[in-house]
Structure 1
Amino acid sequence: MHGLSIDVATAAERTVVENLVQLYIHDFSELYAGTPRGDLGPDGRYVIDIPLERWWGGAADHVPLLLRVEGRLAGFALLNASAHGRAAVDYNIAEYFVVRKYRRTGVGTAAAHAIFSHRPGRWEAAVMRPNLSARVFWERCIRSHPKATGIEIADRNNFTWNGAIFRWVIAPG
C-alpha cells in the first residue's frame, strides 16, 4: 500500500503507543460488558492491563511497531513469541490496532502482510471469542498472504484462552 510505513517504536515513542492503547481499549470495552475490564479510571482513562513494559524492557522477542500512512499514525502492533498452545512460535501478534479512520481501507491487511513478510517463521494470532470482526479479519488476512502455509485454526475454551487461535508459517524470500 502506497504511503504505509511500519517502524519499531522507540523508547521515546512509548507514550505514543500508550495513547493508542487507550483507543484500543475503548474499542474492546464493548466486548467486556458485564465485567470490570474496560472500565474507566477516576481520571477518565482506561486502566491498561497490557504489560507494556515488556516491550521496552530489552527482550528481543518483544517488538513494538507503529503503523503510519503518509506519516500519520494509523495504529500499532505488539509482537512477542508467546504461544497460546504447546507448540512454539517465532512470532505472536499479541496486540494489533488500526484506528477507525483506516479500517476497511486495506491498511490493516497491508500492514499485517508487510509485518509477516519481514519476519518469516511460525506465527500465531489469538482472537477472543466475542471479537467476531477480528476473527474474520485475521482469517482473510492470513489466507490472502502469498507465503502463508500450514494455516491452522483452533477453537479453545479453557482456563488459558477462550476463542480462535490462528497458526501459520511464512516462508522466507
Structure 2
Amino acid sequence: MSRVELEAISAARRPAFDAMFQLYIHDFSEFWAGQDRGELPESGRFDTYSELDLYWTEPHRSAWFIRADSHLAGFALVNNHSHSGLPADHDVAEFFVVRKHRRSGIGFDAARQLIAGRPGQWEIAVVRANVAALGFWRRVAGSVSPEADELNLDDARWNGAILRFKVA
C-alpha cells in the first residue's frame, strides 16, 4: 500500500493543478453524454468553471494535491457550499484520482485524511450517473462518522445523492 499524503496547492503550483483538472473533466465528461455540456472546444482544452480561481483567494475554500509515495495522484477541492440548502461547514466540491491509482485504496485514504481533520457538518453531493462514486463516498462517510444521512434530490439544486454527516 502506498503512503498517501495531502499537500495544499499553492498558487505557484496552479499549472500542475490545471493540467490535472483537464484529466478530471475528460473523465467526468462521460456523465454529460447527450448534453451540450462538456464539449471539447477548438483549443483542445476543456473549459473550466469560473469559481475555480476562488480556491486561491477565499478562506473557506481549499485545494489539495493527493500524493501516493510522493507522486502526484490526484486532487481534492473543499468548500462550504450546500447542495441541499441545509447548513454545512464543509463540502467536497471535486475529487479526482488518476486512473493508475484508482481502486488501490489511495482515494479512500486521501478522502479520510481530508475529512477527518476538519470537524463540523459535511456534505458530499454525488451526480446521479456516477454510481461508482456513490459507493465510494458511502464507504468514506461510514468510516469517519457513525451516522450519515443520505438525501436524494432531483431538482434545480442537485440531481443525485447528497451525503450529510458530522465529524467531531
TM-score of the two chains, using structure 1 as the length reference: 0.92
> Contact 2:84/2:158 (CA < 8 Å) preserved in 1?
no
Question: What's the CA shift string for 1:62-102, capped at 9, x where partnerless?
Answer: 01011011111000000000111232111100000011111
- Aligned equivalents of 2:71, 2:126: Cα separation in 1: 27
Pairwise mapping of residues 15-164 of structure 1 onto structure 2 (< 5 A)?
Answer: 15-49=15-49, 51-57=51-57, 59-145=58-144, 148-164=145-161
Instruction: Please state how far the C-alpha of 1:51 moved relative to its aligned partner.
Output: 2.0
2:168 matched to 1:168?
no
**Once superposed, what is the RMSD of the aligned Cα atoms?**
1.2
Instruction: Please state how far the C-alpha of 1:14 moved relative to its aligned partner.
Output: 1.4
> Contact 1:149/1:170 (CA < 8 Å) preserved in 2?
no
- Aligned equivalents of 1:54, 1:166: Cα separation in 2: 24
> Contact 2:120/2:167 (CA < 8 Å) preserved in 1?
yes
Q: Which runs of 4+ in 1 moved over 6 A?
A: none
- Aligned equivalents of 1:51, 1:99: Cα separation in 2: 23
> Contact 1:122/1:167 (CA < 8 Å) preserved in 2?
yes
- Aligned equivalents of 1:61, 1:152: Cα separation in 2: 23
- Aligned equivalents of 2:162, 2:121: Cα separation in 1: 13
TM-score of the two chains, using structure 2 as the length reference: 0.95
- Aligned equivalents of 2:93, 2:162: Cα separation in 1: 12
Identity among equivalent positions (%) equals: 39
- Aligned equivalents of 1:50, 1:21: Cα separation in 2: 13
- Aligned equivalents of 1:67, 1:50: Cα separation in 2: 23
Instruction: Please state how far the C-alpha of 1:41 moved relative to its aligned partner.
Output: 1.1
The worse-fitting range, judged by mean Cα deviation, of 86-95 and 74-83 is 86-95
- The count of corresponding residues between Structure 1 and Structure 2 is 168
Q: Secondary structure at the match of 1:126?
A: strand
Cα distance change on mapping 1:55 and 1:163 into 2, 3 Å? same
